[in-house]
């Protein structure tokens, strides 16, 4: 940018014309010589007596103000690409609540491993879920444009992990695309159990028909068969699910499913190994229907996925705070 100098100031000592000396200059000089030392002594006395009036200097006030600016992170693009998946959060947490979940353990279960499709033999083998046997895992669904459920769930899991860690929680993922396939549904349950998790949330997206829209939260039914016994967790899991459903709807603006759950956004099932074999409070959330174009537009939006993580996080926080 070019810069044009302003007109010369007649009192500028650098090269500007100097005014003629006034006849009053000598008396003024004498007066200043008398006044300045007195003012300086007064200022020194004032500083010595601590007369700042605010208890500290500017640096101390800035350091103690607690006014930390919010830091926003850019959402990922519509294809789920993240430069730093674990660093996508809507804002830094409130310092007053940053340690509110200290000592709490949350396990996030991103549904389906992105590499499952390359290990069909392994994921098709059956495992015992208490009530019956079921496939180890599946590949999950995808949008009509090819954005996979596995990519979606992992992205939301990363965002959710960041939000919960900012609250002080210890967060573990059942998988982070760091294994060849799986884990199988029975192992997913064991991971949460072994962590003595205070809450476990399994993240999914549905693959229903066109026109079927909205989210729903799946709760464990009361099961006692074989290795499955959910009687101790059905109550707290239902509470967890209701809180997540409420906060998810409020934060994302999405409506409860119009095709399952009778408009409540809550569904109880007894055929999911990840729930049947859990001994800690656990729910699934189907965040939307990937096969519906309107829901797919949300699920493929990085900004919306951030809202989804925020809604799930707030539900978990409410549950853990009791």
Determine which one of 149, 187, 286, 314 is catalytic.
286
Average pLDDT on 114-120 reads 97
Q: How confident is the model at residue 7 (pLDDT cuts 50, 70, 90)?
A: very low
Give domain status of residue 29, yes or no: no
> Are the C-beta atoms of 284 and 275 separated by less than 8 Å?
yes
> Are the C-beta atoms of 256 and 246 separated by less than 8 Å?
no
For residues 214 and 43, give the distance between their C-alpha atoms in angstroms, rounded to a whole number. 70
Q: How confident is the model at residue 15 (pLDDT cuts 50, 70, 90)?
A: very low
Instruction: Kindly calculate the radius of gyration of the chain based on its CA atoms and give it in whole angstroms.
Output: 31
Number of domains in the chain: 1
How confident is the prediction for the chain on average, in pLDDT? Answer: 80
pLDDT at 94 over 80: no
> Are the C-beta atoms of 267 and 219 separated by less than 8 Å?
yes
For residues 83 and 321, which has the higher predicted lDDT (pLDDT)?
321
Per-residue confidence (pLDDT) for residue 217, from 0 to 100 = 99
CB neighbour class for 165 (10 Å; exposed up to 12, middle 13-18, buried from 19): middle
Per-residue confidence (pLDDT) for residue 145, from 0 to 100 = 97
Give domain status of residue 23, yes or no: no
Q: For 265-302, give one letter per residue: b (16+ CB within 10 A) or e.
A: bbbbebebbbbbbbbbbbbbbbbbbbbbeebbebbbbb
Give domain status of residue 20, yes or no: no
Instruction: Please give the structure tokens belonging to residue 53.
Output: 């009036």
Per-residue confidence (pLDDT) for residue 99, from 0 to 100 = 60
Per-residue confidence (pLDDT) for residue 191, from 0 to 100 = 98
| % of the chain with per-residue pLDDT over 90 | 69
For residues 114 and 33, which has the higher predicted lDDT (pLDDT)?
114
Beta-carbon contacts of residue 235 (< 8 Å; ≥ 6 apart)? none
Instruction: Please give the structure tokens belonging to residue 8.
Output: 């010369």
pLDDT at 263 over 70: yes
Q: Is 79 designated active site?
A: no
C-alpha distances in angstroms, 112 versus 151, 217, 270? 9, 17, 20
* CATH for 149: 3.40.630.40
For residues 60 and 64, give the distance between their C-alpha atoms in angstroms, rounded to a whole number. 6
Average pLDDT on 126-137 reads 97
Match 């495992």 to its residue by tokens. Answer: 127
β-sheet bridge partners, residue 225: 228
- How does pLDDT run across 25-80, given as a tens digit for each residue? 444 444 444 444 454 444 444 444 333 333 333 333 233 333 333 322 333 333 33
**3-state SS track over the chain:** CCCCCCCCCCCCCCCCCCCCCCCCHHHHHHHHHHHHHHHHHHHHHHHHCCCCCCCCCHHHHHHHCCCCCCCCCCCCCCCCCCCCHHHCCCCCCCHHHCCCCCCCEEEEEECCCCCHHHCHHHHHCEEECCCCEEECCCCCCECCCCCEHHHHHHHHHHHHHHHHHHCCCEEEECCCCCCCCCCCHHHHHHHHHHCCCCEEEEEEEECCCCCCCCEEEEEECCCEECCEECCCCHHHHHHHHHHHHHHHHHHHCCCECCCCCCCCCEEEECCCHHHHCCCCCEEEEEEEECCCHHHHHHHCCHHHHHHHHHHHHHHHHHHHHC
Compute how many other C-beta atoms are within 10 angstroms of the C-beta atom of residue 141.
19
- How does pLDDT run across 155-178, given as a tens digit for each residue? 999 999 999 999 999 999 999 999
Give domain status of residue 63, yes or no: no
Give domain status of residue 186, yes or no: yes
pLDDT at 93 over 60: no
Per-residue confidence (pLDDT) for residue 76, from 0 to 100 = 36
Lowest mean pLDDT among 86-95, 96-105, 272-281: 86-95
Average pLDDT on 124-142 reads 97
pLDDT at 101 over 60: yes
> Which structural domain range is residue 290 located in?
100-321
For residues 176 and 190, give the distance between their C-alpha atoms in angstroms, rounded to a whole number. 16
Instruction: Please give the structure tokens belonging to residue 204.
Output: 């999914």
- How does pLDDT run across 178-231, given as a tens digit for each residue? 999 999 999 999 999 999 999 999 999 999 999 999 999 999 999 999 999 999
């Amino acid at each position: 940018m070019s810069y044009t100098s302003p007109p010369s100031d007649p009192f500028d000592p650098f090269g500007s014309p100097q005014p003629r000396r006034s006849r009053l200059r000598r008396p003024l000089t004498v007066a200043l010589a008398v006044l300045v030392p007195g003012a300086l002594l007064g200022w020194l006395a004032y500083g010595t007596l601590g007369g700042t009036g605010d208890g500290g200097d500017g640096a101390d006030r800035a350091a103690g103000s607690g006014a930390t600016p919010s830091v926003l992170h850019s959402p990922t693009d519509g294809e789920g690409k993240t430069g730093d998946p674990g660093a996508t959060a809507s804002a830094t947490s409130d310092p007053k609540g940053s340690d509110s979940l200290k000592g709490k353990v949350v396990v996030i279960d991103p549904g389906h491993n992105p590499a499952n499709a390359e290990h069909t033999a392994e994921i098709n083998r059956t495992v015992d879920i208490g009530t019956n046997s079921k496939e180890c895992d599946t590949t999950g669904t995808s949008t009509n444009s090819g954005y996979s459920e596995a990519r979606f769930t992992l992205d939301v899991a990363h965002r959710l992990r960041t939000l919960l860690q900012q609250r002080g929680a210890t967060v573990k993922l059942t998988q982070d695309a760091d294994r060849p396939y799986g884990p199988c549904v029975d192992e997913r349950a064991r991971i949460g159990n072994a962590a003595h998790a205070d809450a476990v949330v399994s993240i999914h997206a549905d693959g229903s028909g066109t026109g079927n829209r909205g989210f729903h939260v799946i709760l464990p039914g009361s099961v006692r068969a074989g290795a499955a016994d959910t009687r101790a967790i059905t109550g707290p899991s239902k509470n967890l699910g209701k809180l997540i459903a409420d906060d998810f709807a409020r934060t994302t603006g999405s409506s409860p499913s119009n095709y399952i759950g009778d408009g409540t956004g809550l569904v109880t099932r007894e055929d999911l190994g990840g729930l049947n074999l859990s001994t800690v409070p656990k729910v699934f959330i189907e965040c939307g229907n990937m096969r519906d174009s309107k829901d797919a537009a949300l699920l493929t939006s990085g900004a919306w996925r951030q809202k989804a993580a925020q809604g799930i996080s707030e539900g978990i926080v409410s549950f853990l705070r009791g």
